[in-house]
Structure 1
Amino acid sequence: MRAVVQRVAQARVDVDGETIGSCDAGALILVCAMPDDDLDCVRGLAAKIAKLRIFKDEAGKMNLSLVQSAGSALVVSQFTLAADTSRGNRPGFSGAAKPDDARTLYLHFANCLRDLGITTETGKFGADMQVHLVNDGPVTIWLDSDT
C-alpha cells in the first residue's frame, strides 16, 4: 500500500456538494492499494502512520505521533498514487490493485487506524471527490508498506 500523509489543521472531502468525511487537526491520508498488498501489510502501514512523530510537542518540535497528539484522520482512496509515468505523457495505473481488492484494503486501513484509537473518517471509494485541506507546516510524507 502506498500512502501520502499530510499534517493538516483541518480537512474535508465532498461528494456531489455534500461533505461526507472530515477531520480537525491531524492527518489527511491518501492511500492506494497495490496488487501484492494483503491485510497484514495494510495493518503494518496503519501502525507506522499512527506512530509517525510529525506533530509538534509543547516546545514546537516534531516529537508527537498522531495518537499522542490526539489528532484525527481523514482517509481518502487515491489510485492515482500508483501512476506509472515512465512511458509517454499519459500515466498508466496498472500498478494499482483491482477495485474490489482495493476497496477491501482501503476500508481495512481505516479500521486499523480506528482500532489504534484514532478518530477516523473516510471519503467514498471510487467516487469523484473534492478534497479540501489546510496543510499544517506544510508537512507531507510519502510511504510504502514495504518501508
Structure 2
Amino acid sequence: MPISQSPYLPRIIGGFGVMAVGLGINALFNPRGAIALFQFPHPGARANTIEETPEGHLVESVMMLEGARTVAMGTALVATSYFGSRKALTVMVWTSTLVAVTDGFISRRQIGGGEWSHWMFVPVGAVIGGLLSGFAD
C-alpha cells in the first residue's frame, strides 16, 4: 500500500485539526490570552495591568476574528479527514500550511519576531502534505 493511502495520515491530520479548534476557541473566548500566546503586545498594557482602550478592544476583536478563522479551518480539517476525499484533504493540508507561513510573516512584520510560533507547523504540514500528494510513493 502506498504511504499516501495510509489510514494513519487522516487521523494525524484530524488531531492537528482538533488542536486548531482548541486554539481558535481560546482566541474567541480569551482574546487577551491568545494575544499573549502569540507574543503580541496588548495596546492597553501598562505595568502589571491592562487598561481598557479603544485600541485594545480593536485588537481583541481582531483576535476573536482570527479565532473564528482557526475554528473554521480546524473543523474543515477534521471533517475532511474523516468524511472527505484524499484529494480534498491534501488541498486542506497545503492550504493550512500556507496560512501558517503567512501568519508567521505577519507576526514578524508586526512585532519583529514570533514567526516560529507559526512556522513550527510548516515542516509538519509540508511532510504530511507531501506524503498525501504521493511524493513518497
| TM-score (normalizing by structure 2) | 0.30
Greater helix proportion: 2
**Relative contact order, higher structure (CA 8 A, sep 6+):** 1
Greater strand proportion: 1
